[in-house]
Structure 1
Amino acid sequence: MGGRLAGIARRDRPKGPMHTVDHGQVSLAEGLHGDFRSALASGKGTRKRQLSLIEGNSWRAAQADSGCLADWSEARRNLLVEGLRLPREPGAQIAIGSALVLEVTGECDPCERMDALHEGLRAALTPDWRGGVLARVISEGPIALDDEVRIV
């Protein structure tokens, strides 16, 4: 059984605010269209951090542990997944919607910006890959809220 895509967020500049959207296009060349970080990673050639994903359960657990009330998008991840445990090993593949396939490249380590958002949030996001996963695009395609998310 798969999960669902519960959120899409992007930012247009370094340290810029995250903007949530209902749908988007993800490509090999630019990652999530309109996202500064995706485009930057795509241009570097390694494409190890084109997209970041976080589980809804992990975000809520970190909120409970830290007392943070911020929206998931403030964690600066691109995609929020509900109802599915994201793989915790590089090389695993995640399919979203009808065409998009991502490859996990590693853990998305929480940075000092999380404590700037709420003291203790960085530590709360650290155990068991709660901060999410980083991924690169294997097969491009459109995404939209409520798309099915599954492990390939």
Structure 2
Amino acid sequence: MTGVLLGIARHPRSRAPVELVERVEVTLDGGIHGDFRGAMRGKPYKRQITLIERGDWDAAMAEVGHRIAWQERRANLLVDGIDLPQVPGTLVKIGGSLMLEITRECDPCERMEALAEGLRAAMTPDWRGGACAMVIQGGWIAVGDEIRIEES
């Protein structure tokens, strides 16, 4: 089961504008370089990186009748061609070396309502809001990299 990394987004602080990048380093301690959520604060920290499936975002957009860019979800990684397992502990490999562990569902917050009325509800079923993950092994990633689910 393989997919592709379609987008990488980061923001330097809470509520800061989102920046799209083509390639970035991801580390154990810092997560996505330049993203404020990457630094692990508190224990246990389960939201170092967030992933969302393109199909889930498109379905939510269709439900609310809008066309909003995926990065407005404020997720870090947009993936396609793969169904992210809704099972904490699942390992996801991106590119040649990055290994992430799914920790939990990424619940949509009230900020989604500011984007489009009904968006928070549209993102609630079936982990449509995405998945949170922790870095298990760092590395460089780039748009176009292969993504695969690893046997745990």
Q: Same fold (TM over 0.5)?
A: yes
Query: What residue in structure 2 maps to residue 62 of structure 1?
Result: 60
Distance, in Å, in 1 between the alignment partners of 2:143 and 2:112 is: 25
| TM-score relative to the length of structure 2 | 0.96
Distance in 2 between residues matched to 1:68 and 1:9, nearest whole Å: 21
Match of 2:76 in 1: 78
Within 2, Cα distance between the matches of 1:141 and 1:98? 8
Is the contact between residue 29 and residue 43 of structure 1 (CA under 8 Å) also seen in structure 2? Answer: no
2:33 maps to 33
Percent identity over paired residues: 54
Q: How far, CA to CA, are the matches of 1:44 and 1:147 in structure 2?
A: 31
Name 1:89's counterpart in structure 2.
Answer: 87
Counterpart CA distance in 2 for 1:10 and 1:114 is 17
Aligned equivalents of 2:140, 2:114: Cα separation in 1: 33
Q: Using the alignment, how far apart are the partners of 1:68 and 1:137 within structure 2?
A: 33
Q: Give, in whole Å, the separation in 2 of the partners of 1:74 and 1:93.
A: 26
Query: Which whole-Å CA distance do the structure 2 matches of 1:116 and 1:37 have between them?
Result: 21
Equivalent residues of 1:103, 1:136 under 8 A apart = yes
The CA distance in 1 between the partners of 2:13 and 2:142, in whole Å, is 22
- Number of the residue aligned with 1:6: 6
Deviation track 1:65-90 (CA, whole Å, cap 9, x = no partner) reads 01121100000000000100001010
Q: Give the distance between the partners of 1:23 and 1:131, measured in 2 at CA.
A: 23
Distance 1:31 1:108 in 2: 16
Q: CA deviation at 1:116?
A: 0.7
1:24–1:33 CA contact under 8 A, matched in 2: yes
Return 5+ residue gaps in structure 1 as ranges: none
- Give 1:13 deviation, angstroms: 1.1
Do the aligned residues in 2 keep the contact of 1:22 with 1:144 (CA within 8 Å)?
A: yes
Query: What stretches of structure 2 of length at least 5 have no aligned partner?
Result: none
Bigger proportion of residues as helix = 1
- Which whole-Å CA distance do the structure 1 matches of 2:50 and 2:61 have between them? 18
1:8-47 CA distance string (max 9 Å, x none): 00001111111110011110010011001222xx133433
Contact 2:29 2:38 in 1 (8 A): no
Question: How far apart are the structure 1 equivalents of 2:14 and 2:129?
Answer: 19
**Amino acid in the other structure paired with 2:144:** D
2: CA distance, partners of 1:143 / 1:45: 26
Other-structure match for 1:17: 17
